[in-house]
Amino acid sequence: MKKLPAIAVCLVSAISAALFFSFTANTDPGRNAAIVRVEGGLISGEKSKLSDVMSFKGIPFAAPPVGELRWKAPQPVKPWSGVKTCNAFGPSPMQSKPVPFMVYTREFLIPEEPISEDCLYLNVWAKPRAAVKKPVFVWIYGGGFSSGGTAVPIYDGEAMAKKGIIFVSINYRVGVFGFMAHPELTKESPYNASGNYGLLDQIAALRWVKKNIAAFGGDPDNVTIAGQSAGSMSVNCLVASPLAKGLFNKAIAESGSLMVANPMLKNSDLQGAEQQGIKLANSAHAASLKELRALPAAELLKLRGIFAPIVDGYVLPEPVPQIFAEGKENRVPLLIGWNADEAFVSGFKKKDEFIKQAKEQYGADADEFFKYYPAGTDEEAARSQIKLSRDMMFAISGYKWACVQSAQAKLPVYVYYFARKLPATPDYVKYGAFHTGEVAYVMDDLKFLNRPWEPADFELANLMSSYWANFIKTGNPNGNSLAPWPAYNSTSQQAMIFDKNSRKGELPDWKELKFMGTRMSM
């Protein structure tokens, strides 16, 4: 093959550079697109109508996990030719049709379409590139490991990007597609494990960020992972996993971890999860892994089981509390907290039944239990059950992680308690500071929720998002003339309490969390 003339080589190089760096130069408000080269090819984004923030939505970070790639670790992205238009979210992971429930209106849910197994896409919001690399914020959604996606309205990243941050949100497989284990899957795996595909998706997305975020002006060595609910538990797993080493340097956990047993999730080992997989295959009348992979996704959605992270010997070589106890986790600064009223109670026990059950469970410690969860009347017992639900599901696990973190040298932890009872119509007012209620404040995205907001709410959103932005940048939420937020320790129990009048103070309910935490284990 003949060599290209020198002038041709220079011309090709110049064109490639122009394409690659067009995002840097695109500061003209009249231009609406930018082109960036990422792993797989060129992509174009879209400029906001309200700011100079560019969004790139639906960027593939791995091959579609379909067909023979169903229940396999994410594979390299398939290259494409030309410029891929990335101005719409990719499909949400395969799950049941999202239906509003309780306080969770459409703003908290993914769109009804598209939903697909072909779901491994991420999104980037960024201002034009500057001389200084920007810190990166990677958001991991919640949904009980069975639902969720990046297209949820309150996960919009523009407001945080305006604060000088590269905002990234990532999809991962959920439910049976993301967390089913089976002996045949373990046998075919090069790492001799199965399940935890959703966590492997998250790790693959973080590796993509490490390799590609500089093209958007981001700093690949200044990455904060963050999540809420199951996303917070995922953050806990990523901090614990040796596979995620070096992919982030800070963590934010909102409402949840796997530091203690969670009544909503049965965190089993690989063998137990494999046995569930066998039962699921039998119920689907699939005699082999090949037949399982041939089943339509809609049929697999009908299978009922517990799908969540497991101790597989690979992603999680040991139970999460043990990894932390042995000091084997990825040591990073932590911002963690929970909400005052987040609870899921399907039915209330009358006071007599509640008292009887507590005495049976706590024995000699029952009197102390009733100090924190009183049951003098049926109404008081109901309030205690709400509080107990919050603690068992979300608060105790966060408290335990904060205590472990604060005990380790050079690992600051900042604890918050979100107490703002969101303004609501009479139908919703009873939910108070409910589970997920803080997210729109953290993202400064109140505009996406149809609520009777007060000026205090917008002030709180600006306050919380500013603290979060500072932590994302430096590992410390303080700065920018904000009220001091002290690092947490188990002696002073200092936390930031977010409400209409936010303040630092003693962490509410820490005594009951300590009492209950000593009685819970994985």
Please give the structure tokens belonging to residue 356: 């009887």
Catalytic residue among 55, 146, 229, 241: 229
Catalytic residue among 274, 435, 438, 502: 435
Strand order in the sheet with 46-47: 46-47, 54-60, 121-126, 166-170, 134-140, 218-228, 250-254, 334-339, 413-418, 494-498, 503-506
Comparing CA positions, the residue from 276, 277, 508, 285 lying closest to residue 399 is: 508
Terminal-to-terminal C-alpha distance of the chain: 64
The answer to whether 317 and 242 are in contact (CB under 8 A) is yes
The reply to whether 229 belongs to the active site is yes
Catalytic residue among 158, 274, 342, 512: 342
The answer to whether 206 and 244 are in contact (CB under 8 A) is yes
The answer to whether 333 and 409 are in contact (CB under 8 A) is no
Strand order in the sheet with 83-85: 35-38, 41-44, 83-85
- CA distance linking residue 444 with residue 162, whole number of Å: 10
Give how far Cα 429 sits from Cα of 103, 341, 421, 426, 439, Å: 9, 11, 8, 5, 18
Determine the distance from the C-alpha atom of residue 306 to the mean position of all C-alpha atoms in its chain, rounded to a whole number: 19
Please give the structure tokens belonging to residue 448: 């996406």
The reply to whether 435 belongs to the active site is yes
Comparing CA positions, the residue from 211, 113, 97 lying closest to residue 147 is: 97
HSE on the CB side for 253, CA within 13 Å? Answer: 31
What kind and span of H or E run contains 55? strand 54-60
Number of H helices, E strands in the chain: 18, 14
- CA distance linking residue 65 with residue 172, whole number of Å: 10
The reply to whether 342 belongs to the active site is yes
Residues in the chain: 522
Q: How many CB atoms lie within 10 A of CB 408?
A: 13
| Site of tokens 């999809």 | 171
406's CB contacts (< 8 A; 6+ apart) are: 413, 487, 488, 489, 490
- CA distance linking residue 7 with residue 15, whole number of Å: 12
Q: Which residues are catalytic?
A: 229, 342, 435
